[in-house]
Structure 1
Amino acid sequence: MDQAVNEIEGYLLWEAEKARARSRADAFCAGLPWLTDTQRQEVESRYCEDQRDLSRAYLERIAVRSAGLRTEYESVYLALRRRLVTAFLSGTLAVAVLVAVAAAGLTAR
């Protein structure tokens, strides 16, 4: 289920990026009023393609970095969890020893 949601979210984000590239292309071509309709279409098409390529490369870099951070954070989390469990077990053992010593002291009297 989570993977399906991620795929839908990714699709929607990519469609939004494509729409943004088309909007940028329109704005870019609006500054070039001397273009013929055919030239305008060609410039818009190439501009959109270039923007999509840049966006794809950027998103791929982000994905790689995110995966690296996830791995790094998971290893830190596991180390902290081990420390916490060790501290908890050590504290429990110390309390048990103190209780045993106190109990032995009370029965020895």
Structure 2
Amino acid sequence: MTDRHVRRPPPGVAPGVAAEAEGFLLAREHRHDAHREAQALCSALPWLTTAQAEDLTRHYVAHRLRLSRQMFEATLCRADELGREYEARYLQLRRDLLRRHGVWASGLLVCAAGVSSALCLFAR
């Protein structure tokens, strides 16, 4: 099969699908970790009945997933804030750099015009 016959998703779709799949796998891993931790906790409490252990596991997993979600949301908010701050700083630095280049270019042009005028006066 050649590359011409391979179906590819439209541009922009693949990164979205990959991010969604990565998020799904990450959530699944967090749930699995929470279950494993809850089972370790229940095994450390041998006096729990099966129903109590299941109830404790359910509550622990729900609490852990809620905490994970809060951490991820806080991280996303901070990442957005930092992105906006960096972008604003980048734009300010870019503006300053363009302004400096403009000043230097204007100064160089004035110097070149002065030298050209001086050469024309001395050439006469």
Which TM-score applies when normalising by structure 2? Answer: 0.80
Q: Given the alignment, which residue of 25, 30, 45 partners 1:17?
A: 30
**Bigger shift: residues 8-17 or 72-81:** 8-17
Q: Deviations over 1:50-105 (max 9, x none)?
A: 10011111111111111111111111111011011111111111111111111111
What one-letter code is carried by the residue in structure 2 that aligns with 1:38? A
- The number of equivalent residue pairs is 109
The Cα shift of 1:34 comes to 1.3
Coordinate RMSD, CA, aligned: 1.3
* d(CA) in 2 for partners of 1:67, 1:25: 33
The Cα shift of 1:7 comes to 2.4
Q: What residue in structure 1 maps to residue 52 of structure 2?
A: 39
Q: Describe the shift of the 1:86–1:4 C-alpha distance in structure 2 as closer, same or farther (beyond 3 A).
A: farther
Q: Given the alignment, which residue of 30, 53, 56 partners 2:69?
A: 56
- Report the secondary structure of 1:108's partner residue: helix
Identity, in percent, stands at 31
**Bigger shift: residues 3-12 or 58-67:** 3-12
* d(CA) in 2 for partners of 1:4, 1:85: 39
* d(CA) in 2 for partners of 1:32, 1:92: 77
* d(CA) in 2 for partners of 1:107, 1:81: 38
Find runs of 4+ consecutive structure 1 residues off by over 6 angstroms.
none
Unaligned runs of 5+ in 2: 1-11
Q: What residue in structure 1 maps to residue 117 of structure 2?
A: 104
Q: Given the alignment, which residue of 90, 93, 96 partners 2:106?
A: 93
Q: Given the alignment, which residue of 80, 93, 97 partners 1:84?
A: 97
* d(CA) in 1 for partners of 2:102, 2:19: 39
Which TM-score applies when normalising by structure 1? Answer: 0.90
**Bigger shift: residues 22-31 or 6-15:** 6-15
Unaligned runs of 5+ in 1: none
